[in-house]
């Protein structure tokens, strides 16, 4: 007797059989991507991602037996994805990441290949290959684990010339100028500076920039190492106070502590704010989605224009490394060779997309705004001593950087925490992490 | 009450015929003994049968839920950066001691508690109230009923992203809309404001969940015998009295079910917070799940993250225990 | 409440010709009713409509005026979505994982629930309580350990890892179905035994046909939970084409920074399938919800 249920069960059973055969046929069930497939994982988006894809295509044409697949990872998910990816059976062959602390983390865990020999042979192909900044970004216990790719700095303020003209604004040279501009703009519905700190780092960068001016790179490095300086030293509190005052002066839009980076870009690009501070990668965004005004950039204002700081916040925030456990290190070296070779024009492609690439000769493809930033960084990199410092969260453990610095800076900008309190919290976190 | 349209009905009728078959006493006793034995077997004292039914589910349940659960517990006693498997180091109860000194953990714990209580209360009130409103057929009632379920089938990611857009203090819809209707005083930074962010997320959770619960209540209401309601009317009870003293008590089991489901949903809260505020601003919306996620994936502290998760698991177990007790008391037949 | 008379339709009192004391208060009450219901409906319809309408505009105007109707209207965003193709991959992944997992959960729940209901053996209550524990566990609590565990079997970055994991989500189904099976009158079983039916036949021909309604409830709730789950696919799946829809959408919005209209197209697409399924199968969906909720 064929009853309703047995028909139902048959239906379910056939569904499972169908699913199983689909799995078997497509081979999806076992190991997707094939064990040991070649891949390069990166964080580029928009035109930068296009450049990466062009480079990969170029490599694949030259090496048809060793084709690489590219995988773009959204910036927010990078931590989760890279961690699980590195310890999986299918790690990437080549990895693009952000250097500095991440180099320490990944190399320290044995996940990156020691490429010191390769680097010594090829560093001449890179502008500033000998600089201290590269060592900071890529060295761990005396060995090199990554190659520099794109450099950037946050030492600029992008501005909207249409709004500048409309409100008769004088381009600011000092931090105090910003406060007077805020007074000028009161009631107009337009804000001075686009800043949304929901992601933390946009506000943290302001504090970093101010700290470099107030304290100098050496002191920051000492505080990061908790050796010779502390985060609640006077100059850091001063920098926190600068940020706090800016917030109180109404320089930032309402709701500064929330919303994400995309919304922050939206404010600037839609003409609701006059200025915005962010890294030079923004040039790439301007190439992707050009607004209806011709964005300009001026150097980041100084706390004291009479004594400007020559040191800059920035560094090699896009680096490439070969992973240690993919089993495909030979192919990895080939990929790095391809990247470094000026003849393949890999660097040029990235420069065209608006990123500041450091392969020799790549600056030929940079537009004037990007080239100006490149020159600023070059000047600082060529000076003796430490004049370029990476984003601070890359120098300290996450509980200090991504937690205390990010959240604290957002709170400073929003005026919900006092400068002294901010500094004390930060120092407490750093001391706890050091143990 | 047996339904005669059920397929088993055929079995019933033939069964009765069998037991009244004529024959001598001896053979009938034999039959009874045989059928007794068979009945004992068929009434489930066969371990083999039980295994056949329960084992398949248990393989998956044990293998993919219980084992990760035990592993999480074990990981909570280690220190691991999560980047390479060679670096797992046991460290005793260090993580748990660290928890007691962690202000964010305590904040997150409080937030979970607030979330639990408020979302359950609000969900029950909203879904029951709206169920009362749409239980009768009137012009448009079908439309409302259909619309109310929609949030439950929307993706949490989509909804959280939309909420971020709408609540943007400078580019969103809510503030201009409030100003337009004269409620400009309420306008503000919403998700950036520590005192507004958590309430917004609570409202979001209620918005997402009330539709399905509304239907659970409707189903419960529709199965209430009509005589009770009529008797109440005859007694002169006003509608609100009828609701309070008749409907609600009769719907006891339904309320318990909704409480349970709402509690389950609220403890699972992660995606909406993660997407809408990432636990911010400055931990104002941090919940245990997001804090554990940060520690494990950004903070290089998988062991510590596991310890936070273990606390969440223990808390939910305690709640489950109370639910089971309450259910047993309520189901005194 | 017994399982005796599950209603298949809402027994609604017809309020269209309600005769209440005083016309005026009835009208006022009716107006308040519509206002309240209308506001609630608006909070639901407005975001969905905005999402849809924004997806039809161009990125430039949406950036400047997100909340009006300015700009060029057209299907450009959808065309570019489909030509790049990944969204279809993600949709396919979600559907595949969802269908197989929910089927698996359904089968395992029904079997397991019957086992607990029909049999008696030592340790039965302990085993059942252990199953109930699963109800209280939030899924993301186990994802880190879970990932380590599935990697041992080389299952990371596979659909099986998701399906097997979801296969463990049977606590809800077992609880609901067991309650249901327990409330089936014993006479049915006795009669079937008299009739000489084997245990398997009793299950298949007596209990299973009755279980359609609560099973639909289990399937519906489970399908929603699995569809929306984003933590397991995020951690377990590395290959981009295999992302499920929630993960893919998140990555996509992160990468496309300020191209809001394009993002809205993705979001609309992600929402479209469940919404359309719901609108088409509304009656069955509601019937299942209603029947399933009326249990012992």
Q: Could you tell me the residue ranges of all domains in chain B? A: 3-75, 87-332
The gap between the terminal CA atoms of chain C, to the nearest Å, is: 5
Interface contact A342, partner C, CB < 8 A: no
Q: Quick one: pLDDT band at residue A211, thresholds 50, 70, 90?
A: very high
Phi, psi at residue C14, to the nearest 5°? Answer: -80, 110
What is the structure's pLDDT at A26?
35
Residue of B2, B151, B219 lying closest to C185 (CB–CB): B2
What is the structure's pLDDT at B39?
60
Q: How many CB atoms lie within 10 A of CB B178?
A: 15
Structure tokens at B67: 């084992």
C-beta of residue A92 within 8 angstroms of C-beta of residue A85: yes
C-beta of residue A275 within 8 angstroms of C-beta of residue A193: yes
What topology is assigned to B87-332 in CATH? MetI-like fold (1.10.3720)
Which chains would you list as touching A if contact means 3+ CB atom pairs under 8 Å? B, C
CB contact under 8 A, C255 and A266: no
Flag whether pLDDT at B22 surpasses 70. no
CB contact under 8 A, B171 and A86: no
CB contact under 8 A, A76 and C250: yes
Tell me the β-bridge partners of A140.
A143
C-beta of residue A284 within 8 angstroms of C-beta of residue A326: no
C-beta of residue A213 within 8 angstroms of C-beta of residue A240: no
What is the structure's pLDDT at B313?
82
Most confident option among A118-127, B6-15, C272-281: A118-127
Q: Quick one: pLDDT band at residue B327, thresholds 50, 70, 90?
A: low
Say which residue, C255 or C94, is predicted with more confidence. C94
Structure tokens at B29: 């006793």
What is the structure's pLDDT at B44?
53
- Alpha carbon distance C203, C224 (integer Å): 28
Asked if residue C105 and residue C22 are part of one domain, the reply reads: no
CB contact under 8 A, B166 and C47: yes
Flag whether pLDDT at A28 surpasses 70. no
Domain with C146, as residue range(s), is: 82-295
Say which residue, B148 or C184, is predicted with more confidence. B148
- Alpha carbon distance A424, A427 (integer Å): 5
Say which residue, C289 or A93, is predicted with more confidence. A93
Flag whether pLDDT at A301 surpasses 90. yes
Distance of CA C262 to the CA centre of its chain: 26
Say which residue, B179 or C101, is predicted with more confidence. C101
Looking at the complex, report in whole angstroms how far the Cα of residue B36 sits from the nearest Cα belonging to chain A: 26
What is the structure's pLDDT at B244?
78
What is the structure's pLDDT at C33?
87
Of A53-62, A151-160, A372-381, C277-286, the one with minimum mean pLDDT is: C277-286
Looking at the complex, report in whole angstroms how far the Cα of residue B190 sits from the nearest Cα belonging to chain A: 7
Asked if residue C189 and residue C129 are part of one domain, the reply reads: yes
Residue of A6, A12, A31 lying closest to C204 (CB–CB): A6
Average pLDDT over residues A143-155: 92
Q: How many CB atoms lie within 10 A of CB B139?
A: 10
CB contact under 8 A, B72 and C199: no
Report the percentage of chain B scoring pLDDT > 70: 85
Q: Quick one: pLDDT band at residue A31, thresholds 50, 70, 90?
A: very low
- Alpha carbon distance A16, A9 (integer Å): 11
DSSP 8-state code for residue B319: H
Q: What is the CATH number of domain A39-153+314-389?
A: 3.40.190.10
Exposed / middle / buried, residue A227 (Cβ in 10 Å: 0-12, 13-18, 19+): exposed
How many Cβ pairs closer than 8 A exist between chain B and C? 344
Structure tokens at B291: 């804090």
Tell me the β-bridge partners of A302.
A174
Looking at the complex, report in whole angstroms how far the Cα of residue A76 sits from the nearest Cα belonging to chain C: 7
> Could you give the number of structural domains in chain C?
2
What is the structure's pLDDT at B328?
67
CB contact under 8 A, A198 and B189: no
Interface contact A28, partner C, CB < 8 A: yes
What is the structure's pLDDT at C130?
85
* Element spanning C145, H or E: helix C143-152
- Alpha carbon distance A138, A126 (integer Å): 14
What is the structure's pLDDT at A87?
73
Q: Is B180 helix (H, G, I), strand (E, B) or coil?
A: helix
Question: Which residue from B263, B266, B285 is spatially nearest to B274, judged by alpha carbons?
Answer: B285
Interface contact A79, partner C, CB < 8 A: no
**Count of residues making up chain A:** 435
Among residues 73-102 of chain C, which lie with CB inside 8 Å of chain B? none
Q: Pick the residue from chain A with its C-alpha nearest to B191.
A: A258
Domain presence at residue C160 = yes
Flag whether pLDDT at C189 surpasses 70. yes
Say which residue, B86 or B195, is predicted with more confidence. B195
Most confident option among A277-291, A395-409, B176-190, B224-238: A395-409
Interface contact C174, partner B, CB < 8 A: yes
What is the structure's pLDDT at A191?
93
Q: Quick one: pLDDT band at residue A181, thresholds 50, 70, 90?
A: very high
CB contact under 8 A, C99 and A15: yes
Tell me the β-bridge partners of A273.
A191
Distance of CA C39 to the CA centre of its chain: 25
Flag whether pLDDT at B193 surpasses 80. yes
Flag whether pLDDT at B225 surpasses 80. no
Structure tokens at A281: 């990668």
Q: How many CB atoms lie within 10 A of CB C209?
A: 17
C-beta of residue A149 within 8 angstroms of C-beta of residue A358: yes
Flag whether pLDDT at A34 surpasses 90. no
Interface contact B151, partner A, CB < 8 A: no
What is the structure's pLDDT at B18?
39
CB contact under 8 A, C144 and B65: no
What is the structure's pLDDT at C157?
80
Of B52-61, B118-127, C15-24, the one with minimum mean pLDDT is: C15-24
Within 8 A by CB and 6+ apart from A130, the residues are: A123
What is the structure's pLDDT at B235?
79
Q: Where in chain A is the domain with CATH 3.40.190.10?
A: 39-153+314-389, 156-278+396-434
Looking at the complex, report in whole angstroms how far the Cα of residue A22 sits from the nearest Cα belonging to chain C: 10
Question: Which residue from A61, A76, A71 is spatially nearest to A39, judged by alpha carbons?
Answer: A71
Average pLDDT over residues A123-142: 89
Looking at the complex, report in whole angstroms how far the Cα of residue B322 sits from the nearest Cα belonging to chain A: 36
Flag whether pLDDT at A75 surpasses 80. no
Question: Which residue from C96, C92, C99 is spatially nearest to C240, judged by alpha carbons?
Answer: C92
Query: In chain B, what residues touch A255 (CB-CB under 8 Å)?
Result: 168-170, 188-193
- Alpha carbon distance A363, B81 (integer Å): 39
Flag whether pLDDT at C134 surpasses 50. yes
Looking at the complex, report in whole angstroms how far the Cα of residue A120 sits from the nearest Cα belonging to chain C: 33
- Alpha carbon distance A359, A150 (integer Å): 9
What is the structure's pLDDT at A189?
87
- Alpha carbon distance B328, B317 (integer Å): 17
Tell me the β-bridge partners of A156.
A299
- Alpha carbon distance A434, A399 (integer Å): 11
| A234 to A215, A216, A245, A304, B193: CA distances (angstroms) | 9, 13, 16, 17, 29
Residue of B52, B60, B218 lying closest to C108 (CB–CB): B60
Query: In chain A, what residues touch B278 (CB-CB under 8 Å)?
Result: 198-199
Render A127-150 in DSSP notation, one character per residue.
TTTTSHHHHHHHEETTEE--EEEE
Phi, psi at residue C156, to the nearest 5°? Answer: -70, 150
What is the structure's pLDDT at C80?
84
Q: Quick one: pLDDT band at residue C66, thresholds 50, 70, 90?
A: confident
What is the structure's pLDDT at A321?
94
Q: Pick the residue from chain B with its C-alpha nearest to A4.
A: B7
Interface contact A270, partner B, CB < 8 A: yes
CB contact under 8 A, B188 and A86: no
What is the structure's pLDDT at C133?
79
Q: Quick one: pLDDT band at residue B330, thresholds 50, 70, 90?
A: low
Within 8 A by CB and 6+ apart from C131, the residues are: B57, B61, C112, C116, C170, C171, C174, C175
Within 8 A by CB and 6+ apart from B332, the residues are: none
Question: Which residue from B264, A218, A374, A317 is spatially nearest to C224, judged by alpha carbons?
Answer: B264
Q: What share of chain B is helix, strand, coil (3-state, %, to 5)?
A: 75, 0, 25
What is the structure's pLDDT at A242?
95
Domain presence at residue C243 = yes
Q: Quick one: pLDDT band at residue A71, thresholds 50, 70, 90?
A: confident
Residue of C2, C43, C206 lying closest to B8 (CB–CB): C206
Average pLDDT over residues B182-208: 87
Query: In chain A, what residues touch C147 (CB-CB under 8 Å)?
Result: 84
pLDDT tens string A350-374: 988 888 899 888 888 888 888 888 8
Domain presence at residue C67 = no
- C-beta pairs of A160-165 under 8 Å, 24+ apart in sequence: A160/A268, A160/A271, A160/A273, A160/A274, A160/A275, A160/A291, A160/A293, A160/A295, A161/A293, A161/A294, A161/A295, A161/A296, A162/A271, A162/A293, A163/A190, A163/A271, A163/A274, A163/A293, A164/A274
Residue of C234, C240, C259 lying closest to A289 (CB–CB): C259
Domain presence at residue C107 = yes
How many Cβ pairs closer than 8 A exist between chain A and B? 115
| A194 to A35, A263, A314, C66, C255: CA distances (angstroms) | 46, 9, 20, 17, 20
What is the structure's pLDDT at B9?
31
C-beta of residue C167 within 8 angstroms of C-beta of residue C108: yes
Average pLDDT over residues B82-104: 85
Flag whether pLDDT at C284 surpasses 60. yes
Tell me the β-bridge partners of A139.
A144
CB contact under 8 A, B191 and A263: no
pLDDT tens string B130-182: 988 888 878 888 888 889 988 988 888 888 888 888 888 888 888 888 888 88
Q: Quick one: pLDDT band at residue A171, thresholds 50, 70, 90?
A: very high
The CATH number for A156-278+396-434, chosen from 3.40.50.720, 3.30.2420.10, 3.40.190.10, 3.40.50.10470, is 3.40.190.10
Domain presence at residue C60 = no
Average pLDDT over residues C87-100: 91
Task: For Cα atoms B135, B141, B144, give the angle at the middle one, nearest 5 degrees.
Answer: 105
Average pLDDT over residues A55-76: 88
Say which residue, C14 or A405, is predicted with more confidence. A405
Which chains would you list as touching B if contact means 3+ CB atom pairs under 8 Å? A, C
Q: Is A315 helix (H, G, I), strand (E, B) or coil?
A: strand
Of A77-81, A175-179, A208-212, the one with minimum mean pLDDT is: A77-81
Interface contact A104, partner B, CB < 8 A: no
Flag whether pLDDT at A202 surpasses 80. yes
C-beta of residue B280 within 8 angstroms of C-beta of residue B107: no
Most confident option among A1-15, A194-208, C110-124: A194-208
Question: Which residue from A103, A177, A183, A88 is spatially nearest to A136, judged by alpha carbons?
Answer: A103
* Element spanning A238, H or E: helix A234-248
Flag whether pLDDT at A409 surpasses 60. yes
- Half-sphere exposure of A376 toward its Cβ, with a 13 Å CA cutoff? 26
pTM of the predicted model, to two decimals? Answer: 0.81
Say which residue, A241 or B323, is predicted with more confidence. A241
User: What is the domain-level CATH number for residue C281?
Assistant: 1.10.3720.10
- Alpha carbon distance B131, B129 (integer Å): 5
Flag whether pLDDT at A196 surpasses 70. yes
Query: In chain A, what residues touch C204 (CB-CB under 8 Å)?
Result: 3, 5-6, 9
């Amino acid at each position: 007797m064929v009853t309703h249920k047995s028909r139902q069960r048959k239906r379910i059973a056939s569904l499972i059989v169908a699913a199983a055969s689909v799995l078997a046929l497509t081979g999806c069930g076992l190991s997707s991507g094939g064990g040991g497939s070649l891949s390069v994982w990166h964080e580029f988006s928009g035109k930068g991602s296009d450049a990466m894809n062009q480079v990969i295509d170029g490599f694949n044409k030259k090496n048809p037996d060793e084709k690489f697949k590219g995988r773009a990872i959204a910036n927010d998910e990078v931590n989760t994805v890279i961690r699980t990816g590195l310890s999986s059976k299918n790690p990437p062959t080549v990895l693009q990441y952000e250097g500095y602390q991440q180099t320490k983390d990944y190399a320290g865990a044995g996940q990156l290949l020691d490429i010191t020999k390769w680097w010594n042979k090829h560093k001449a192909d890179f502008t500033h290959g000998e600089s201290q900044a590269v060592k900071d970004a890529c060295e761990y216990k005396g060995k090199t684990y990554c190659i520099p790719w794109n450099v950037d700095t946050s030492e600029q303020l992008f501005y909207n010339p249409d709004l500048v003209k409309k409100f008769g604004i004088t381009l600011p040279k000092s931090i105090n100028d910003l406060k007077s501009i805020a007074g000028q703009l009161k009631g107009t519905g337009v804000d001075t500076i686009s800043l949304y700190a929901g992601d933390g780092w946009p506000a943290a960068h302001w504090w970093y920039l101010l700290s470099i001016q107030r304290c100098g790179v050496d002191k920051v490095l000492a505080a990061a190492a908790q050796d010779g300086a502390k985060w609640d030293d006077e100059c850091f509190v001063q920098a926190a106070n600068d940020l706090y005052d800016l917030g109180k002066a109404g320089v930032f839009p309402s709701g500064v502590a929330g919303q994400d980076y995309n919304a922050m870009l939206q404010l600037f690009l839609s003409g609701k704010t006059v200025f915005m501070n962010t890294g030079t990668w923004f040039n790439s965004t301007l190439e992707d989605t050009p607004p209806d005004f011709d964005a300009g950039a001026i150097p980041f204002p100084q706390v004291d224009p009479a004594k400007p700081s020559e040191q800059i916040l920035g560094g090699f925030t896009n680096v490439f490394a070969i992973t240690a456990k993919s089993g495909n290190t030979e192919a990895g070296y080939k990929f790095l060779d391809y990247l470094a070779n000026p003849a393949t024009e890999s660097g040029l492609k990235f420069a065209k997309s608006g990123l500041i690439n450091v392969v020799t000769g790549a600056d030929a493809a940079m537009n004037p705004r990007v080239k100006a930033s490149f020159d600023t960084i070059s000047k600082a990199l060529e000076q003796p001593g430490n004049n370029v410092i990476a984003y601070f969260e890359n120098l300290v453990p996450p509980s200090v950087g991504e937690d205390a610095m990010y959240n604290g800076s957002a709170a400073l900008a929003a005026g919900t925490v006092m400068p002294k309190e901010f500094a004390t919290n930060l120092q407490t976190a750093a001391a706890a992490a050091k143990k | 009450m047996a339904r005669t349209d059920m397929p088993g009905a055929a079995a019933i009728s033939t069964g009765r015929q069998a037991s009244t078959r004529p024959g001598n006493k001896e053979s009938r006793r034999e039959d009874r003994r045989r059928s007794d034995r068979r009945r004992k077997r068929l009434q489930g004292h066969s371990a083999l049968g039980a295994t056949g039914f329960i084992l398949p589910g248990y393989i998956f349940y044990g293998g993919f839920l219980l084992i990760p659960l035990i592993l999480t517990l074990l990981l909570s006693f280690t220190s691991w950066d999560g980047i390479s498997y060679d670096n797992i180091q046991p460290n005793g109860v260090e993580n748990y001691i660290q928890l007691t000194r962690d202000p964010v953990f305590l904040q997150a714990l409080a937030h979970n508690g607030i979330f639990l209580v408020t979302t359950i209360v609000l969900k029950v009130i909203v879904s029951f109230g709206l169920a009362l409103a749409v239980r009768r057929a009137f012009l448009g009632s079908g439309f409302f009923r259909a619309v109310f379920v929609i949030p439950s089938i929307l993706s949490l990611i989509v909804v959280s992203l939309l909420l971020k857009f709408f609540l943007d203090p400078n580019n969103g819809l809510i503030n201009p809309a409030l100003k337009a209707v004269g409620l400009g005083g309420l306008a503000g930074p919403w998700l950036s404001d520590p005192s507004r962010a958590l309430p917004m997320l609570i409202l979001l959770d209620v918005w997402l969940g009330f539709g399905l619960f509304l239907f659970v209540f409707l189903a419960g209401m529709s199965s209430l015998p009509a005589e009770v309601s009529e008797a109440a009317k005859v007694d002169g009870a006003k509608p609100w009295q009828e609701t309070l003293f008749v409907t609600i008590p009769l719907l006891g089991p339904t309320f318990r079910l909704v409480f349970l489901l709402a509690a389950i949903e609220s403890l699972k809260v992660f995606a909406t917070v993660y997407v809408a505020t990432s636990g911010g601003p400055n931990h104002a919306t941090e919940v245990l799940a997001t804090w554990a996620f940060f520690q494990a994936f950004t903070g290089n502290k998988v062991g510590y993250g596991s310890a936070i998760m273990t606390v969440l698991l223990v808390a939910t177990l305690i709640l489950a225990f109370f639910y089971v007790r309450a259910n047993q008391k309520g189901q005194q037949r | 409440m017994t399982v005796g008379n599950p209603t298949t339709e809402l027994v609604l009192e017809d309020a269209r010709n309600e005769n209440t004391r005083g016309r005026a208060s009835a009208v006022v009450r009716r107006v308040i009713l519509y206002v309240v219901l209308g506001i609630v409906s608006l909070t639901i319809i407005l975001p969905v409509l905005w999402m849809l309408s924004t997806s039809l505009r161009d990125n430039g105007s949406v950036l400047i005026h997100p909340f009006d109707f300015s700009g060029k209207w057209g299907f450009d965003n959808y065309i570019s979505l489909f030509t790049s193709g990944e969204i279809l991959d993600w949709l396919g992944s979600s559907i595949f994982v969802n269908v197989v997992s929910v089927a698996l959960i359904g089968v395992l729940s029904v079997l397991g629930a019957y086992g607990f209901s029909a049999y008696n053996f030592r340790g039965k209550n302990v085993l059942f309580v252990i199953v109930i524990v699963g109800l209280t566990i939030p899924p993301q609590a186990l994802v880190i350990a879970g990932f380590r565990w599935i990697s041992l079997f080389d299952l990371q970055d596979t659909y099986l890892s998701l399906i097997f994991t979801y296969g463990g989500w049977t606590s809800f189904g077992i609880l609901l179905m067991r309650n249901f099976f327990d409330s089936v009158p014993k006479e049915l079983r006795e009669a079937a035994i008299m009739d000489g039916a084997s245990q398997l036949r009793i299950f298949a021909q007596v209990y299973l046909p009755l279980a359609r309604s609560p099973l639909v409830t289990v399937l519906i709730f489970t399908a929603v939970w699995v569809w929306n789950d984003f933590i397991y696919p995020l951690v377990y799946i590395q290959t981009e084409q295999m992302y499920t829809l929630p993960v893919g959408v998140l990555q996509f919005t992160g990468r496309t920074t300020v191209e809001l209209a394009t993002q809205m197209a993705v979001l609309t697409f992600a929402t479209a399938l469940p919404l359309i399924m719901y609108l088409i199968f509304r009656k069955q969906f509601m019937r299942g919800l209603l029947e399933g909720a009326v249990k012992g």
